Amino acid sequence: MRLLSAFIVGLIFGVGIAISGMINPAKVLNFFDIAGTWDPSLAFVMGGALITTFIGYRFVLRRPAPVIEAKFLLPTARDIDARLVGGSAVFGLGWGIAGFCPGAALPALGSGKWEVAAFIAALVAGIWVARMAQARGAPRATA
């Protein structure tokens, strides 16, 4: 039940990423290239996703618990610190260099393009190194 629901949720996400154009780094980079070959499509992806999630969460989070798990597992961190801002800035830098973000790259693996596999390998290496560095320093949970 848990596996099937996770697969279906992933499938809907993957279809969404695919038909929205988020799956295409050329399109993503063009969204960020206002001074050049600008393609504003990504604003519609973000808009559609945000409005749907905003409305959907209002109804879902009103329920006492989710269907499969015992309780909602929402992030509890509240502090806006250097780690959050610095990490996000570093992410923005990498996104601008490669054109892929993690949520777009995973479905893009289905295209069979070797560039996607190369990105995912480097991404996983980066996550692993950062996790190791965090484990050596002050231990802290990451969402």
**Smaller CB separation from other proteins, 27 or 136:** 27
Is residue 62 within the footprint of other proteins (CB under 8 A)?
Answer: no
Rule CB under 8 A: which of 98-127 touch other proteins? 98-111, 113, 115-116, 118-127
Size of the site for other proteins (CB under 8 A): 117
Shortest distance, position 141 Cβ to other proteins, whole Å: 9
Q: Which amino acid is it at 41?
A: S
Is residue 138 within the footprint of other proteins (CB under 8 A)?
Answer: no
Is residue 136 within the footprint of other proteins (CB under 8 A)?
Answer: no
Is residue 2 within the footprint of other proteins (CB under 8 A)?
Answer: yes
Is residue 80 within the footprint of other proteins (CB under 8 A)?
Answer: yes
Shortest distance, position 59 Cβ to other proteins, whole Å: 8
Closest by alpha carbon to 106, among 47, 31, 22? 22
132: its two tokens: 């190791």
Is residue 4 within the footprint of other proteins (CB under 8 A)?
Answer: yes
Contact 66, 72 (CB under 8 A): yes
Is residue 65 within the footprint of other proteins (CB under 8 A)?
Answer: yes
Q: List CB contacts of 39: < 8 A, sequence separation 6 or more.
A: 27, 30, 31
**Smaller CB separation from other proteins, 6 or 136:** 6
As a whole number of angstroms, the distance between CA 48 and CA 17 comes to: 12
As a whole number of angstroms, the distance between CA 128 and CA 2 comes to: 26
As a whole number of angstroms, the distance between CA 25 and CA 12 comes to: 20
